[in-house]
């Protein structure tokens, strides 16, 4: 019995380490390493089945000025809230990952360009619609207006006679 408990504890610790290795510590999103793995998996599924896949890239507009003007604590609060809002909007449709500093990407297996463009616009609009509450961190303002730029691509984006802009 003790051996089983020990084995289960080791397994739990190994799973925790694996999660830490693929999770962005600040935002809780998938990190760049996991993004790369999930993208390869989604693309392999597309190659094998011709089921489309899409990727949304977003970048917080003028993010450097948030850090420069209001401090890194405010910048971190903005990144955490961006992650929360994007995850809520995407739901279980895909994997939301912190791609770089203020860049967040979404991998959407099984989604074509039209649906991905709609989702990308919803992400952009949802973020712009409500100021970010940064009152909990030490900075000179309580609310910040945040916007993101969004780009969308998909495996079916270049079908002849078709184009989509976001």
What residues are annotated to the active site?
Answer: 102
Question: Residue for token digits 């599924």?
Answer: 45
Most distant pair of Cα atoms in the chain: their distance: 66
3-state SS, residue 145: coil
CA distances to 3, 36, 122 from 15, rounded to whole Å, are: 18, 19, 34
Taking the C-alpha atoms of residue 98 and residue 24, their distance in angstroms, rounded to an integer, is: 7
Query: Whats the size of the chain, residue-wise?
Result: 166
């Amino acid at each position: 019995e003790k051996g089983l408990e020990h084995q289960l504890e080791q397994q739990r610790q190994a799973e925790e380490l694996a999660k830490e290795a693929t999770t962005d510590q600040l935002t809780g999103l998938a990190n760049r390493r996991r993004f790369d793995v999930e993208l390869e998996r989604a693309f392999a599924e597309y190659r094998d089945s011709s089921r489309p896949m899409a990727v949304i890239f977003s970048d917080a507009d003028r993010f450097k000025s948030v850090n420069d003007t209001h401090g890194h604590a405010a910048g971190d609060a903005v990144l955490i809230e961006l992650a929360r809002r994007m995850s809520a909007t995407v739901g279980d449709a895909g994997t939301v990952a912190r791609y770089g500093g203020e860049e967040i990407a979404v991998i959407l297996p099984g989604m074509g360009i039209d649906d991905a463009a709609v989702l990308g616009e919803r992400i952009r609009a949802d973020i712009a619609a409500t100021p970010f509450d940064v009152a909990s961190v030490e900075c000179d303002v309580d609310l910040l207006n945040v916007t993101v730029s969004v780009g969308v691509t998909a495996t079916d984006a270049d079908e002849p006679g078709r184009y989509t802009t976001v």
